């Protein structure tokens, strides 16, 4: 008897990577506050909210920023750019953004 393993699901992922310039020069309390502010700006974007509601978004926090992986629309990361670029964070701190597209394989049936 063999256990049937589910076939991995392959999807195209549209990725927005962001980090904060000179983040490491801040005090820990400032880093925490700035990251919370950035997270709030990201969560307020229409594309983030739509993708999250549809279950088509993965948000991965990284040390000085985050990665957003959208599965619903190739324009979603691009449409998050303006609010992030125009966000005014204290001092010289500004987001640095990069977008890409890649394949993503999920082995989890509940993904």
pLDDT tens digits, one per residue of 8-65: 777 788 888 888 888 888 899 988 888 888 888 889 888 899 999 999 999 998 888 8
- What Cα–Cα distance (Å) separates residue 4 from each residue in 7, 68, 111? 9, 32, 18
Domain assignment present for 64? yes
More confident residue, 5 or 72: 72
| Cα–Cα nearest to 104, from 14, 13, 17 | 13
How many separate domains does the chain show? 1
Burial of 55 (0-12, 13-18, 19+ CB in 10 A): exposed
Domain assignment present for 30? yes
Q: CATH code at 89? A: 3.30.70.1230
**Residue-number span of the structural domain to which 34 is assigned:** 9-106
What's the CA gap between 60 and 58, in Å, rounded?
Answer: 6
What's the CA gap between 64 and 23, in Å, rounded?
Answer: 6
Domain assignment present for 1? no
């Amino acid at each position: 008897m063999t256990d049937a393993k589910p076939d991995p699901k392959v999807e195209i992922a549209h990725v927005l990577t962001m980090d904060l310039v000179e983040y490491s020069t801040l005090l820990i309390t400032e880093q925490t506050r700035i990251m919370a502010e950035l997270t709030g700006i990201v969560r307020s974007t229409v594309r983030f909210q739509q993708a999250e509601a549809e279950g088509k978004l993965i948000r991965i926090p990284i040390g000085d920023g985050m990665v957003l992986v959208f599965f619903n629309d190739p324009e979603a990361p691009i449409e998050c750019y303006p609010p992030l670029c125009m966000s005014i964070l204290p001092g010289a701190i500004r987001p640095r953004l990069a977008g890409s597209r890649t394949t993503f394989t999920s082995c989890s049936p509940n993904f």
